[in-house]
Amino acid sequence: MTARALIIESRFYDDIADMLLAGATAALQKRRFAYEIITVPGVLEIAPALAIAMSSARRKDMSYELYVALGCVIRGETGHYDIVAGEGNRALVDLVVANRLALGNGILTVENGEQAYVRADPARKNKGGDAAEAAIALFDLRAQLNQ
């Protein structure tokens, strides 16, 4: 049976999201993980989408073995950046720890668009691929410890 991954991506910045997704899916395909994608508008919607997906998967008896969160928060002129970056990640970490999830966090928190492009681009920093690799590492760790 093939392990299943769920990618939850924020599409607030479509071009950055495309690059993050390309990196993540390439890493999952390399290890032959099946995956599904859920799209949400912004980073603050990632954790609630994860909670909804987990609840729905339990009811339908179709669970995921690993998760990848993708998104980008670029600092602007107001304090909204701090709320989105901090609270979005806090909610995600709370879910991950409470439910012992193998999740790779590919939510970029950057000062400007150039930093985002460099980090998202699969040919450069490939943070989408790194997030998928982190989820895979936790998946492997769980398998190793459950032997």
pLDDT in tens, 7-50: 999 999 999 999 999 999 999 999 999 999 999 999 999 999 99
pLDDT, position 56: 85
The answer to the question of whether 73 is labelled as a binding residue is yes
88 and 76 Cβ atoms separated by less than 8 Å: no
The answer to the question of whether 78 is labelled as a binding residue is yes
The answer to the question of whether 74 is labelled as a binding residue is yes
What does pTM read for this prediction? 0.95
pLDDT, position 59: 63
pLDDT at 130 over 80: yes
Catalytic residue of the set 80, 124, 137, 140? 80
DSSP 45-110: GHHHHHHHHHHHHHHTT---SEEEEEEEEE--SSTHHHHHHHHHHHHHHHHHHHHT--EEEEEEEE
For the segment 118-147, the average pLDDT, to the nearest whole number, is: 96
pLDDT, position 60: 63
Spelled out in words, what is the top-level CATH class assigned to the domain 4-145? alpha beta
146 or 15: which leads in pLDDT: 15
Q: What is the DSSP letter of 2?
A: -
For the segment 93-111, the average pLDDT, to the nearest whole number, is: 97
Tell me if residue 23 is catalytic.
no
